[in-house]
A and B are shown apart, each in its own frame.
Chain A
Amino acid sequence: GAVVSQHPSWVICKSGTSVKIECRSLDFQATTMFWYRQFPKQSLMLMATSNEGSKATYEQGVEKDKFLINHASLTLSTLTVTSAHPEDSSFYICSAPRAQGAYYNEQFFGPGTRLTVL
């Protein structure tokens, strides 16, 4: 199956610093990628849709100036958490869809990045 990687797998940072998380589709191109956030023992909440060559689309309630998304190429999307605070500590997961014939939405997930802000 298709592979999606994330880097780093975990990061600890000080409050006020910025953290960049990379999501790569390793063996296919993805014009769209999705960023999710998962709190402990909770479900995945869609944060934003990353679009190659255009601005990301953010879900309601997600601060676009705080969570900067850049879809730099057809295989790379980055999420930058700016001026991170302890409440931003969470598990961030990306996914990329790959067309499966007429069935568009076979989603492949990255392994996730655990962010801890001290």
Chain B
Amino acid sequence: GNSVTQMEGPVTLSEEAFLTINCTYTATGYPSLFWYVQYPGEGLQLLLKATKADDKGSNKGFEATYRKETTSFHLEKGSVQVSDSAVYFCALTMNQAGTALIFGKGTTLSVSS
């Protein structure tokens, strides 16, 4: 079946450090890929998405490129801030109406000043 595997955390960084959170997927067909962020005490928010191979999603300084050859969608940010501390979820969905998201286990990022 379809699944998402992301690196386990927690990830602890100093402010302005470079961030990479790895995500790989298994899917039959061609999914859309997402990164969601959950700040403490809040609901899920879409951070970025890519709907086809080689697409790059970007938002708030975060980027991820849909790599079909490596079935990956790694999240990167060049310079993290304390306010980026949150839980990050990689997810996929097959592009059919009424299809739910499949989530990775989440990676907790903690950024200190």
Contact = CB atoms under 8 A, between A and B. Distances in A.
29 contacts: A32-B98, A34-B100, A41-B106, A41-B108, A42-B105, A43-B105, A43-B106, A44-B101, A46-B101, A46-B102, A49-B98, A51-B98, A93-B43, A95-B44, A95-B100, A97-B99, A99-B97, A104-B95, A104-B97, A104-B98, A104-B99, A105-B93, A105-B95, A105-B96, A105-B101, A107-B46, A109-B36, A112-B43, A112-B44
B101 A93 contact: no
B66 interface: no
B62 interface: no
B69 interface: no
- Counting chain B residues whose Cβ lies within 8 A of the other chain, the interface size class is 20 to 34
Interface of B: 32, 36, 42-46, 51, 89, 93-106, 108
Interface string A20-58: 000000000001101000000111101001010000000
- Counting chain A residues whose Cβ lies within 8 A of the other chain, the interface size class is 20 to 34
A95 B45 CA distance: 11
Contacts, number: 62
Interface of A: 31-32, 34, 41-44, 46, 49, 51, 93, 95, 97, 99, 103-107, 109-112
The 5 closest A-B pairs by CB, nearest first: A111-B43, A109-B44, A32-B98, A43-B105, A105-B93
Q: Is the interface of A mostly helix, strand, loop or mixed?
A: strand
A32 B97 contact: yes
Contacts of A46: 100-102
Q: Is the interface of B mostly helix, strand, loop or mixed?
A: loop
B42 A95 contact: no
B43 A103 contact: no
